[in-house]
């Protein structure tokens, strides 16, 4: 276990360094933020003065070295547009993103796994075909399309819920519903396919031959072994939610880090973009490490195979 944690920690650091380097380079080859800040009537002297004040006059290797040195001290830079520390701006938006993401993930997990088990036990029935058709649509339809449909139906036609903003708890309903449809569809389909595979294994048939109830066979023997790929997918969805859903937040004007990322990309606000990507990558790596640890709890044999 210790060796596993050390190896994963080293890989995480290398991954984060690669993400920082790639984001740094791509952010600077897509355009000059000074052009977004100054009017067309600005002189070359104005451009040069702003570039010097932002440190953009230095060669890229020098800029990267300065950024890494500041990063190691906890300084992720100052927003070019907002003139505030980038980390402070991003941290203000994370709770709003989690207000959407955590309920979406919890609901999709609590509904998706039992529903996947149910349709697996009723394979090729009308219920199975109906649920699989819905989940296929949930995976295929883009979030912005689903969000617009929900706005037109519940916000415009029925007038049951507000359509944008974050002022009241009612504003959570439509964006959360939009955000949970995709992970719910994935969890249901993966749980079903994993359960169908496990239910045909020898140890499940042996458990049935011993006279165990169907409930014990399904939930104590089959489901536990079927959960490993499902947990992997749930872990990926956690990382996606933490990094923010830019499309959903933009459609519903929800002021989370997804909407902040879209605005920062449009304004070429390098420090904000780099901070969002770094936090998202760190969250992704952390969640994947937690998922790997959960494997050991579900199936202790994994630790033995890892040690060998």
Q: CB atoms < 10 A from the CB of 57, how many?
A: 13
**Would the CA dihedral through 23, 29, 34, 37 be positive or negative?**
negative
Question: Tokens for 123?
Answer: 């394979």
Six-digit token pair at 291? Answer: 């998922």
Q: Is the dihedral of CA 100, 103, 104, 106 positive or negative?
A: positive
- Residue 307 has a pLDDT of 43
| Assigned CATH class of 87-307 | mainly alpha
Q: For residue 38, what are its two tokens?
A: 């100054």
What does R_g of the chain's alpha carbons equal in angstroms? 24
Q: List CB contacts of 54: < 8 A, sequence separation 6 or more.
A: 33, 34, 80
User: Cβ distance 174 to 163 under 8 Å?
Assistant: yes
Q: For residues 93 and 79, is the Cβ–Cβ distance under 8 A? A: no
Residue ranges matching CATH 1.10.3720.10 in the chain: 87-307
> Is the CA virtual torsion 173, 135, 188, 293 positive or negative?
negative
**pLDDT tens digits along 47-82:** 778 777 777 777 888 888 888 888 888 888 888 888
Burial letters 290-305, b for 16+ CB under 10 A, else e: ebbebbeeeeeeeeee
21 pLDDT exceeds 60?
yes
pLDDT digits (tens, 9 = 90+) for 145-156: 988 999 999 988
Asked whether 93 and 257 are in contact (CB, 8 A), the reply is yes
d(CA 67, CA 19): 13
- The pLDDT tens digits for 210-262 are 777 777 777 777 777 788 888 888 887 776 666 557 788 888 888 888 888 88
- The predicted model scores a pTM of 0.77
| pLDDT value of residue 131 | 92
* Highest-confidence segment of 21-25, 55-59, 62-66, 115-119: 115-119
Quote the CA–CA distance of 125 and 227 in Å, as a whole number. Answer: 23
The region that residue 68 occupies, defined by phi over 0 for left and psi between -120 and 50 for alpha, beta otherwise, is alpha
* Helix or strand run (H / E) with residue 162: none
Token pair belonging to 223? 């489901």
Q: E strand or H helix at 219, and its extent?
A: none
CA distance 42 to 31: 17
pLDDT of 46 over the 80 cut: no
Sequence-ordered list of residues with C-beta below 8 angstroms from that of 106, at least 6 positions apart, any chain: none
Among the listed residues 201, 220, 224, 223, the one whose alpha carbon sits nearest the alpha carbon of residue 212: 220
């Amino acid at each position: 276990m210790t060796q596993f944690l050390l190896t994963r920690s080293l890989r995480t650091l290398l991954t984060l360094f690669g993400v920082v380097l790639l984001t740094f380079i791509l952010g600077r080859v897509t355009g000059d933020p000074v052009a977004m800040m100054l009017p067309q009537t600005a002189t070359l002297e104005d451009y040069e003065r702003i570039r010097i004040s932002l440190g953009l006059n230095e060669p890229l290797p020098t800029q990267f070295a300065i950024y890494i040195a500041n990063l190691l001290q906890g300084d992720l830079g100052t927003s070019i547009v907002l003139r505030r520390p980038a980390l402070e701006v991003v941290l203000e938006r994370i709770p709003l993103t989690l207000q959407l993401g955590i309920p979406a993930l919890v609901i999709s997990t609590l509904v998706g796994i039992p529903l996947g088990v149910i349709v697996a036990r009723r394979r090729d029935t009308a219920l199975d075909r109906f649920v699989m058709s819905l989940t296929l649509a949930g995976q295929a339809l883009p979030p912005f399309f689903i969000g617009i449909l929900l706005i037109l139906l519940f916000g415009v036609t029925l007038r049951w819920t507000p359509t944008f903003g974050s002022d009241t708890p009612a504003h959570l309903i439509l964006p959360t519903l939009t955000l949970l449809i995709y992970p719910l569809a994935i969890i249901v389909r993966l749980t079903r396919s994993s359960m169908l595979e496990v239910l045909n294994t020898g140890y499940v048939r042996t458990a049935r031959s011993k006279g165990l109830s169907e409930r014990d066979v399904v939930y104590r023997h089959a489901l536990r072994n079927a959960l490993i790929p499902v947990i992997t997918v749930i872990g990926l969805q956690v990382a996606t939610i933490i990094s923010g859903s830019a499309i959903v937040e933009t459609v519903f004007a929800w002021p989370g880090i997804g909407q902040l990322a879209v605005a920062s990309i449009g304004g070429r606000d390098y420090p904000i973009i780099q901070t969002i990507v770094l936090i998202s990558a760190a969250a992704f790596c952390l969640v994947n490490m937690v998922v790997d640890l959960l494997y050991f709890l579900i199936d202790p044999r994994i630790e033995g195979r890892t040690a060998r």
